Structure 1
Amino acid sequence: MKLDLDGKTALVTGSTQGIGAAIAAGLARAGARVVVNGRTEARVAEALQELAGQVPGGEFVAGAGDVTTDEGARAVVAAAGRLDVLVNNLGIFGAAEPLEITDDEWRRYFEVNVLAAVRLTRLTMPAMIERGWGRILNVASDSAVVIPAEMIHYGMSKTALLGVSRGFAKAAAGTGVTVNSVLAGPTHTGGVEDFVHQLVEQDLPWDEAQREFMKTHRPQSLLQRLIEPEEIANLVVYLSSPLASATTGGAVRVDGGYVDSILP
């Protein structure tokens, strides 16, 4: 199976670290020119150096800008040039008492996790449709289906992203452009390490903290460990490739068996 993205350009939002950086590296290994996105030029420049070390010969370009604003999203898309693959990976999460989440926090989670993806899809899909080929991937979460009691606002935003993906897939029906969401399970990133230590004893060594977190807060995981970012990236790269031409409108799981359902 050859995942060949030679000649394609991909934009990965929020790709200076974590899952986004892993996706950027995976797409570059498959031959894509990858636009690395973060809010500041300094952080993007740092990420470009890190990615160049991971993928010698990979083609990475800077795409600094705040895609949660219309102005920032337009600037990033303009800097990227022709886009064949859009990966809406940018997202925020955090634990909060359900009845203490303010209106502003509800709005912030929707703005960052949902509306940014909608905006970028609106900016990039027409050109993809005109060319007759394109891939749009929205990185969602198992929390879209199994809403965590400690972060309802996050789960809500990821559920909305599933609906957004399905709807835009219908808008692109028959054009050669596919739109899918990827349901990522509990994943090992720096941000998740901080999140885990919010919920378990903070003095525990990481390996013990991870096991305690999975046992106490994610017991339904069949993998029984956190997923590595590269494992999420593998699925995203496949769905971005020509080989995934018959997969669209789907919510494709890479959740470690977390969602207790045959279908999402």
Structure 2
Amino acid sequence: MSMDRRDFLKLAGASTLVGLGGLSVFDGFVKDGALASQAHTAPGASAGKRLAMVIDVSKFKSPDDYKRVSYACHSIHNVPSIDNLKHEIKWIWTDTYEHVFPGQADQYMAENIMRLPFPVLCNHCAKPPCVRVCPTKATFKRKSDGVVMMDYHRCIGCRFCMAACPFGARSFNWTDPRPYIRKLNTSFPTRTKGVVEKCNFCAERLSAGLQPACVEASNGALVFGDLHDPSSEVREILSSRYAIRRKPNLGTGPSIYYVIGGNEHA
């Protein structure tokens, strides 16, 4: 049975409501399940119950700092470079404060903050609506660390996850992405036409005991670790600095925190 665009949008809208319905306000420290076995994880691999990232915007000093972070991610994950904005694929990119944090600004906020570019990526939510609406379980949340993953072989391209995600963190391959990969990384799988993709918190690197590529390339602007470990660097930063998250009122529990302003302004 064929489905025209109008029918798809109706169904996607309904799925979004289902995915978001019943979510309560999340305080950011949900204890969601026991730690899974790490038998197949290399020594030193991240094994926290809730992996999270802190982005200190004050440590991005130039456009090159942002580009370096994006390039590190996109190059190792074979993210295609497509000039057509309608077909653009992105795992990490930048946007303005008003778009990243709608409704979280006021008339007295410093103009320089409003003009800053803010890195954005999948929020790896504690209660991800994308997982709820996926009919094939192609997108799922790992119980061991809270990372929201994708199985590209299961993805049928329905885009329900894209409709459900309130952060616009997912991209759809409208065309075969492989011809647009500048330099192929043979150690990471490429995607095909009709498949959704997004940031995976560098799960393949975590299993080898490495930090996400964007974190390594950020010169300290991005910090990654276990939110449930009081001695982790992310917890130390969050306990001493004021941080905000995207659209906290939706109750999805984003795992990405933003520190705005340097220590001299704290």
TM-score, normalised via structure 2 length? 0.25
TM-score, normalised via structure 1 length? 0.25
Which one has more relative contact order, counting CA pairs under 8 Å at least 6 apart? 2
